[in-house]
Amino acid sequence: MSSPGKAILYGFLIWLIVFVVAFAIFPIRESWRALFEAIMPVAIVLATTTFAHLYLSKTSENVLWESLVVGGLWFVISLLIDLPLMLTGPMEMPLTEYVADIGVTYLIIPIIEAGMGLVRTVAFRESQNVA
């Protein structure tokens, strides 16, 4: 990992942005659940693509591998912060419900990061073959 500190910070910020969005729209979770469930993946995609671009734009070697590692790290960060909050306290979600409702959605994070890494890798290789 070329910049572990930045990777950890960006992973935390992805989780924080998604958490703030969820907190802001939480009142509609019961009254209009479908809208709540539609907004949350959009927030994850927006935060992840933003930070994936910021992180990968400073990565020049092994971009695909870096994107796989960082995407996995960001996924784990979101789970590690989220699990204690959702399984205890006012939410008290059962683990199976958490995985089905939230955990699976977090898989968007490494998928986007890996996809962006793949695109950057292919673009770099094609630019080398043009010359």
Report pLDDT digits (tens) over 23-63: 999 999 999 999 999 999 999 999 999 999 999 998 888 99
CA–CA separation, 51 and 97 (whole Å)? 28
CA–CA separation, 122 and 92 (whole Å)? 44
Domain count, the chain: 1
Domain extent, residue 35, equals: 4-130
Q: Which of 21, 55, 52 is nearest to 38 (CA)?
A: 21
Q: Quick check: 57 and 97 in contact, CB under 8 A?
A: no
Report pLDDT digits (tens) over 93-107: 999 999 999 999 999
CA–CA separation, 66 and 59 (whole Å)? 8
CA–CA separation, 78 and 19 (whole Å)? 10
Specify the DSSP element, H or E, that contains 61: none
Residue 131 has pLDDT above 60, yes or no: no
- pLDDT, residue 78, reads 98
Question: Please, what is the average pLDDT of the chain?
Answer: 95
CA–CA separation, 107 and 112 (whole Å)? 9
> Does this model's pTM top 0.85?
yes
